[in-house]
Copies of this chain bind each other. A is one copy, B any other.
Amino acid sequence: MARTQGSHSDITGPRVRAAALRLFARQGYAAVSMRQIASEVGVQAGALYNYTPDKQTLLFDLMRTHMEDLLAAWDAEAPEASARDALEAFTRFHIRFNTSRADAVFVSYMELRNLEPGNFAVIEGQRREYETRLEAILRQGVVEGSFDVTEPRIAAMALIAMLTGINTWFRARGRLGLVQIEALYWDMVRKAVAV
């Protein structure tokens, strides 16, 4: 019978993914070896293959899961509201979500070029999906007359780039807390699309 209770796989599996995510973020996918990940978890390299068919799939699963979490979290939080309120909600959500998962965000952006073509297409699609959520808010604002945005797709990418850039300097113990950072960036976002 199956070894359900106390099974190590319930513990080792997540630990493998956590170690891989941390190491990929710090050193980059290509520079991290399976032995390094295994050492972090406390097993031999061969044992990792109980949890992933290969290194590429380990990377892909981390990125896919992150993007799924991102989309699901926003969809659960997106308000039915005016474009202005939706944009404020999006701005604050993006800052909070991305700063709370810096490693996953970093890996999902930096390691795109290390994905096999098929895997790349999937992640690229998820990224476009997320951009489209913001684009829709901007288009709504134009219709409502509250935004002045001539190229909503480009404006969406510009705002996301600006917000994600926070991760390059944000430190949880820094001078500014998330509340202040949200306020600063919402101010810039609001004005950038204003009429």
What residues make up the interface of A, taking CB atoms closer than 8 Å to B? 26-31, 110, 113-114, 150-151, 154-155, 157-162, 164-166, 168-169, 176, 181, 184-185, 188-189, 191-194
CA distance A192 to B159 in the complex (A): 11
The complex is assembled from copies of this chain, and their number is: 2
Contact of A161 among B150, B165, B181, B192 (CB under 8 A): B165
Residues of chain B with a CB closer than 8 A to A191's CB: 191-194
Q: Main SS of chain A's interface residues? A: helix
Within the assembled complex, what's the spacing in Å between the Cα atoms of A61 and B188? 36
Chain B contacts of A164 at CB under 8 A? 161
Q: Which of B31, B110, B150 contacts A184 (CB 8 A)?
A: B150
